Structure 1
Amino acid sequence: MGEPRADRPAGTAGYGEAAERLAAQYEAVTFAEVHREALHLFPPGPADVLDVGAGSGRDAAALAALGHRVVAAEPTPELRRIGEHLHAGSGVRWTGDALPGLPALGAAGARFDAVLLTAVWMHLAPDQRPPAMDALTGLLAPGGRLFLTLRHGPVPPGRRMYDVPADETLALARSRGLHPVLHAERPDLHGRPDVHWTVLVLSFNR
């Protein structure tokens, strides 16, 4: 897959300049650690998986190693290049497509059994979230699942983030036919005492 125009979400400015530091932070924890509450809900066999805001490709590569066909969507070119280098040979296909629209993937008619948004939703402004949920729902195959984490805590200097309530996200999802199969809370894996996370898994029953 090539590099379509990235409909970059607000809040990701500065990620290019900090790409190496951020990639090291992402790779310091494993896919299994980040998704421990939801591991049992991932597809058991080879499936089509989309990792939105894939960062360094940690999760995408781990899922590809399990035999899944994985597309990693990362709008920051610097992070995308690092991910392609770190996980060369993993079989992951990279694209520069991004929320809120994911226009290239939508235009291609792609459908996925699982879609991940790990530490991504916090970057979307209130008016971007409804079209983003529309785009994500449109990319899910019947019975597909959306894996989403919500960050809660102070915003780092120089970044634009939103502390999005879980109830708001669940209401937005339910209105589009997505139903929760997991709602969990966990502390920050990097040891930040003032940051915690909500873990949601939503099933699409078309």
Structure 2
Amino acid sequence: MDPKTIEAYDTHAAVFAARYRSGERVPVERLKLAFGHRWQILDIGVGSGVDMSRFLDAGYDVRGVEPSLMLMQTALKHFPRLQGRIWQGSLPMADTELFESWQSHYMGIFCSAVLMHIAYDQQPLALEQMYAMLKPEGRLLLTVSSGRTGLNAQGRDEYNRFYAELSEDRVLELAQHAGFIQQQTWHDADKWHREGLVWASYLFEKPKA
């Protein structure tokens, strides 16, 4: 994940976490539809911790990784039951020992608002690693934004966060190259009514061995 973006989340963790707790980016009904009986879930990009908490409420055994230490601490403060369930880390995963221990380990991966913070040349590896961490017939629910305005020439916002423009063709190409099979796609307006911003949620499945 882009280092300057992680720094921005560290610096403004309280502001971002409060915003993310105030809105439901992915409806819980969609989470249940996407993962069904696949009870062992990895949340990549924990953020405020609200999604992990919702997974627990729905009966899933969820673990998470979060690159921002300050966001991770804020999540644990507001959702103490996440203690022991979150590791500091990002995509692509640099912690070789942790990544290897999670090979073919999870039944589902939830990756929301993360891929667009990853440099274009690192995106294929990110998808390949998520594929490797899933069991056969495991599923990935990947959520990204498009149409974001106010970015500078380097693709950064006012907080210096990097945003890659991810068209549907780009996302599907990355997923197919990694080995995933597309299951379903949803498009949603921005929950905070930011002009022009659209969210796409892609459901992919790892083929049966």
Alignment of 1:30-109 (within 5 A): 30=24, 34-35=26-27, 38-45=30-37, 47-90=39-82, 93-101=85-93, 103=95, 104-109=97-102
Counterpart residue identity of residue 86, structure 1: H
RMSD over aligned Cα, in angstroms?
Answer: 1.9
Partner Cα separation in structure 2 for residue 94 and residue 145 of structure 1:
20
After TM superposition, the score normalised by the length of structure 2 is 0.86
Among 153, 166, 169, which residue is 1:167 paired with? 169
Partner Cα separation in structure 1 for residue 38 and residue 137 of structure 2:
15
- Deviation, 1:91, is 6.5
- Deviation, 1:25, is 0.6
Residue matched to 1:114: 108
Structure 1, unmatched stretches of 5+, are 1-7
- Deviation, 1:36, is 5.9
Between 10-19 and 53-62, the greater mean CA deviation after superposition: 10-19
- Say yes or no: does 1:12 pair with 2:14: no
Count of residues paired in the alignment: 197
Residue matched to 1:195: 197
Q: Could you tell me whether the CA contact under 8 Å between 1:38 and 1:182 is conserved in 2?
A: no
Q: Percent same amino acid among aligned pairs?
A: 25
- Deviation, 1:90, is 4.7
- Deviation, 1:16, is 0.6
Going from structure 1 to structure 2, the CA distance change for 1:141 and 1:173 (only over 3 Å counts) comes to same
Partner Cα separation in structure 1 for residue 36 and residue 29 of structure 2:
16
- Deviation, 1:125, is 0.8
Counterpart residue identity of residue 192, structure 1: R
Between 177-186 and 133-142, the greater mean CA deviation after superposition: 177-186
Q: Could you tell me whether the CA contact under 8 Å between 2:28 and 2:54 is conserved in 1?
A: no
- Deviation, 1:75, is 1.1
SS of equivalent residue, structure 1 residue 42: helix
Greater helix fraction, Structure 1 or Structure 2: 2
